[in-house]
Amino acid sequence: MTQTNFLILMVDQMSGCMLAEPMLKYLHAPNIKRLIEQGVKFENAYCASPLCTPARGSFMTGQLPSRSGIYDNAAEFPASTPTFAHYLRLKGYQTALSGKMHFVGPDQLHGFEERLTTDIYPADFGWTPNWHDPLNRIDWWYHNLHSVTEAGTAEISNQLEFDDEVAYFARLKLHQYARRLDTRPFCLTVSFTHPHDPYVARQKYWDLYENIDIPMPSVAAITYAQQDPHSQRLYDAVNYSHYSITTEHIYRARRAYCANISYLDEKIGELLQVLDDCDFTDNTVIVFCADHGDMLGERGLWYKMCFYEYAMRIPLILHAPQQFTAKHIKTPVAAQDILPTLVELAGANPHNLACPIDGKSLVSLAQGEEQNGRVVYGEYCAEGSVEPMIMIRQGRFKFNYCEADPIQLFDLEADPQELNNLANHPDYAPLLQSFQQQLKQRWNLEQFKQQVMHSQDCRRLVDSANRQGQFKSWDFQPQHDATQRYMRNHLDLNVLEANNRYPKPSSH
């Protein structure tokens, strides 16, 4: 039996709420909408942690940060931790990455046979938080609200330059696969940095939303005094008091965000066209996902770093019309479920892995099996936090816990905007106790905190030492050997031109 190919499309900081009504109908995103119409859409998919590196670490390993040690945006990804790329290589796959994955540490491959681009973010320990002084804002790398107040248009930006390159090399790689000089099946991961802030879009995509009433936040800004303690810390972390955010700022930021989704949609369409043109479509499983979401002004919050739905919910679509009937699934799932899903679809046993994971394959769900008891876990241990934060989503309820903060319990069906905290309601005391029992069984929070702080202390020391004298970067340097490309005199012109053509010329 022919092994299926995989094309994994990852976008950055795109809230899953954008692919739900009413937001979806406002988006000019025909290619993403086609994936939804033909695929299995998981309506309640969550990231493992609402921040780039820990979220991507869980996507790659199937492990929560407490298991992997990838706590924040400067936490090292251990080279000894298997990823889906390792498992697929053992099953005979070519594995390649075009774009961002924010690997921290000297291993910049983590199972990928090839990386086609560098990363957009640094690979060192410079962004390490400090829980000895957690409320001290570090201005040179913490978010601020410039992205909101300066939202608008630009022909080129740091992010646009990066994603243009990501798409180019991904298309090139698909064409190289089509030439089949290597007959192994492929797993190509294409990871864009949009629609991550800054909220800056090219004019052509901005213009798609002219005279369109893009929905504004469903929950208006909440005053500092009325915010929960963690949201107050996030206000401080983004330097909120130094900015005056107007309705126009919010509109322009959300318009640019939508425009950048349209930009991504066009890039995705180009890749889907290559699949069609090279006869890959019928034998390629497409996974569309994001690392985490963006609050986009909901409750007055921006970016991520919290457990509210706009930050935690991610888009997750499994497109495999030859295997799964198109459907929408409401059962809560998580990014850490992607690794065992890929392993199972590749023909291996997702229950027989080299080390424990926190995910569960989505294949049976996609086939229509009911799994009402499925539980999703999330953690957060980075900027804006002072101790480990835990989220449990089960059924219609979400439970948020941190030793430093009041408990939160939300009924997401009755209260999708998370405005009514049920934690102190006597009718929900048994449910609250059940969640607390799950928490106690799964986490030793004091030990978890000490592990995070030990990791932070070690990384800050190493980073300080590495910056004394000559600094040696771990940032990935893509290598493109020009001596083996196009026509060179050590190559046979006739063989070269025949091999680099698709479809192959007919024999004479």
DSSP symbols for 329-379: E-S-EEGGGHHHHHHHHTTS-TTS-SS--S---SHHHHTT---TT-EEEEE
Number of folded domains that form the chain: 1
pLDDT class of 347 with cuts at 50, 70, 90: very high
From 17, 47, 52, 289, active-site residue: 52
- pLDDT, mean of residues 323-345: 97
Lowest mean pLDDT among 215-229, 239-253, 435-449, 489-503: 489-503
Quick one: pLDDT at residue 21?
86
Q: What are 105-152's pLDDT values in tens digits? A: 999 999 999 999 999 999 999 999 999 999 999 999 999 999 999 999
Domain-embedded: residue 485: no
Quick one: pLDDT at residue 409?
98
Domain-embedded: residue 231: yes
Q: Which of 47, 8, 14 is nearest to 262 (CA)?
A: 14
The answer to whether 294 touches 304, Cβ cutoff 8 Å, is: yes
Quick one: pLDDT at residue 2?
77
Strand runs labelled E in 33-79: 40-42, 45-46
- pLDDT, mean of residues 462-480: 95
Distance of CA 414 to the CA centre of its chain: 28
> What's the whole-number average pLDDT of the chain?
96
Q: What is the DSSP letter of 216?
A: P
Domain-embedded: residue 335: yes
Instruction: Kindly report the CATH number assigned to the domain that includes residue 217.
Output: 3.40.720.10
Domain-embedded: residue 26: yes
102 is catalytic: yes
The answer to whether 389 touches 72, Cβ cutoff 8 Å, is: no
Q: What are 493-506's pLDDT values in tens digits? A: 888 888 888 888 77
242 is catalytic: no
Quick one: pLDDT at residue 487?
87
Please tell me whether residue 52 adopts helix, strand or coil conformation. helix
pLDDT class of 95 with cuts at 50, 70, 90: very high
Quick one: pLDDT at residue 1?
54
In the predicted structure, residue 508 carries a pLDDT above the cut 60: no
Segments forming the whole domain that contains residue 95: 5-380
Whole-angstrom distance, CA of residue 56 vs CA of residue 59: 5
Domain-embedded: residue 50: yes
From 17, 47, 86, 102, active-site residue: 102
More confident site: 485 or 131: 131
Q: What are 269-307's pLDDT values in tens digits? A: 999 999 999 999 999 999 999 999 999 999 999 999 999
In the predicted structure, residue 507 carries a pLDDT above the cut 70: no
Distances (CA, A) of 335 to 62, 139, 377, 414: 7, 30, 10, 25
Domain-embedded: residue 452: no
Domain-embedded: residue 447: no
Percent of the chain with pLDDT over 70: 99
The answer to whether 304 touches 311, Cβ cutoff 8 Å, is: yes
Q: Are strands 375-380 and 408-411 parallel, antiparallel or unpaired?
A: unpaired
Q: What are 22-65's pLDDT values in tens digits? A: 899 999 999 999 999 999 999 999 999 999 999 999 999 999 99
